[in-house]
Amino acid sequence: MGIALFFVFSFLFNSPREKELINENKSLKAQYGILNKRMDVVQDVLTDIQQRDNNLYRVLYQADPIDESVRTASYNSTSRYKDLANMSNSKLMIDMTSRLDVIAKQLYIQSNSFDEIVDLAKQNELRLQSIPAIQPILNKDLKRTASGFGMRLDPVYKILKFHEGMDFTAPIGTEIFATGNGTVIFTGWQQGYGNTIKIDHGFGYQTWYAHLNNIITKAGRKVTRGEVIGKVGNTGKSTGPHLHYEVRYRGKPVDPRNYYFMDLSPAEYDKMIQISSTSGQVFD
């Protein structure tokens, strides 16, 4: 009986069909290995595109980067692959299919991101017209640059305070220009700021112009870059005639010095940075 069973098992596991199945299994594993290496290459290329998208394209158009956890999220549902569980080499099939699903999802997210970048690029001309990109008063020689953005000694309270804008000295009545296209959203008196104009430029940008003597625009009006909107004064918490100018992005004050690229040459820009950094003269 034992000899008979030996011959039966010997026949089953050494039959041409069994050898064929073994060879097919080896071939399948080899193909799996090749496909896996190809997917490694695809993933490397996709990762490079994702990094450039986050760190270059989306930064260029000031779009928030896509979170890594969103890009690389996998499917949590095990039932998604239950039909593969009964197949021969089911583990290989499930691993391969789940990996393809992850890559396909990343491609879908990346495709949507590129669609968004294309839309932003189409809006770029409007964006360039709207971003505050010149100085708010005539200051080519930079002699009106007083104090810049950052910690400064408050001229009234004599304590260090954060200066949220940039001060330009000028005689009362000096013309003030809108620094980018936009809509006037506020004109009037504001505590500390005196007579003030606020412009919404879209794309997350606002500019504020404070301590004015005259306001010659009104809320709701569309303005263009270079248009005269008011005149320098000495109203509000101010110790001398000047314009206090702020650029705000997404509600937070940012350094106005970064937004004069249509107005100054590189040499003039460097000089302005030096003046505004070393000057301790604050007027509000």
Q: What is the mean pLDDT of each run of 10 residues along the chain (284 residues)?
A: 42 51 65 82 86 81 83 65 64 78 87 87 83 90 75 66 85 96 97 96 96 96 97 91 94 89 82 72 67
Half-sphere exposure of 153 (CA within 13 A, CB side): 6
First CA to last CA distance, the chain: 107
189, 176 in Cβ contact below 8 A?
A: no
Closest C-alpha among 6, 276, 245 to residue 145: 276
Domains and CATH numbers, the chain: 2-122 (no CATH), 133-278 (2.70.70.10)
**Calculated CA dihedral for residues 36, 38, 40, 42, nearest 10 degrees:** -140
205, 247 in Cβ contact below 8 A?
A: yes
- Which residues, in sequence order, are bridge partners of residue 209? 197, 245
Closest C-alpha among 183, 179, 185, 157 to residue 166: 179
pLDDT at 260: 87
pLDDT at 248: 95
Closest C-alpha among 264, 178, 195 to residue 236: 195
215, 176 in Cβ contact below 8 A?
A: no
129, 180 in Cβ contact below 8 A?
A: yes
Other C-beta atoms within 10 Å of 174: how many? 20
98, 81 in Cβ contact below 8 A?
A: yes
Give me the DSSP letters along 118-183: HHHHHTHHHHHHHS--S-SS--TT-TTEEE-SEEEE-TTT-SEEEE-SEEEE--TT-EEE-SSSEE
